[in-house]
């Protein structure tokens, strides 16, 4: 599946079977939601680099498109929203304003 076809599907689920360099040859599988397979691979690489000490790389055995993601359940949507960081709004400084009336 080429990148233009992938982008027509919008958000999709990709399955990546891979081996981590320097480990015992175990094959790992990851299901990654992304817009393209390239984005899914980059996301997996970043995740592995950030979570494995002395990460040296990985080899992809299989990369496959599993299907388009059309909707998120309410539970999944709530978990995504709950895990996002709220944006803190800066407090506005308030000053006491007095109305000045002309003397009569």
CATH number, residue 53: 3.10.20.10
Say what the pTM is.
0.70
Does 99 fall in a domain? no
Question: Rounded to an integer, what distance in angstroms lies between the CA atom of residue 40 and that of residue 30?
Answer: 10
Does 13 fall in a domain? yes
Q: Residue 18's pLDDT is what?
A: 96
Q: DSSP letters along the chain, please?
A: --HHHHHHH-SEEEEEEEEETTS-S--EEEEEEESSHHHHHHHHHHHHHHHSTT---EEEEEEEEEEE-----HHHHHHHHHHSPPPPPPPPP-----------
Q: Residue 71's pLDDT is what?
A: 93
Summarised one tens digit per residue, pLDDT across range 12-50 is 999 999 999 988 878 999 999 999 999 999 999 999 999
- What range defines the domain where residue 61 resides? 3-72
Q: Residue 33's pLDDT is what?
A: 95
Asked if residue 6 has pLDDT above 90, the reply is no
């Amino acid at each position: 599946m080429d990148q233009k076809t992938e982008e027509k599907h919008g958000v999709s689920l990709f399955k990546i079977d891979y081996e981590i360099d320097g480990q015992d040859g175990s094959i790992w599988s990851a299901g990654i939601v992304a817009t393209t397979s390239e984005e899914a691979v980059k996301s997996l690489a970043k995740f592995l680099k950030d979570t494995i000490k002395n990460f040296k790389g990985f080899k992809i055995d299989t990369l496959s498109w599993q299907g388009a993601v059309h909707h998120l359940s309410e539970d999944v949507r709530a978990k995504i929203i709950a895990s996002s960081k709220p944006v803190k709004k800066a407090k506005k400084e308030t000053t006491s304003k007095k109305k000045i009336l002309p003397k009569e």
